[in-house]
Amino acid sequence: MKKVTIYSGSPCSYCEAAKALLKSKNISFEEIDVWQDPSKAKEMLQRTNGARTIPQIFIEDHYIGGNEQLQEANRTGELDKLLTKTS
């Protein structure tokens, strides 16, 4: 399984929804709280080309986007493809 990273903060209902989806699919992920570590907030901004909302989700270096994009990728089956696709 590929590495999934989610930049999040608390409280954040969109973050919770994204994490719940990943957990429901037994997908482990690294969670980075951008409110606890300002350097990680800067890292998120660089990786997303300036996206400031949370969550921001990556599979390896592939940028998914936020919760809405993650949910859509799951609905279309794209999420499973991204998680198993070899480079």
**What is the mean predicted confidence (pLDDT) over 35-58?**
95
Q: How many helices (H) and strands (E) does the chain have?
A: 4, 4
The H-or-E segment that residue 65 falls in is: strand 62-65
Q: How many domains does the chain have?
A: 1
Has this prediction a pTM greater than 0.95?
no
The CATH number assigned to the domain holding 19 equals 3.40.30.10
The tens digit of pLDDT for each residue in 1-39 reads 799 999 999 899 999 999 999 999 999 999 999 999 989
Question: What was the pLDDT predicted at 79?
Answer: 96
Domain housing 38:
4-84
The Cα–Cα gap between 45 and 2 comes to 22
Contact 40, 31 (CB under 8 A): no
The Cα–Cα gap between 9 and 34 comes to 6
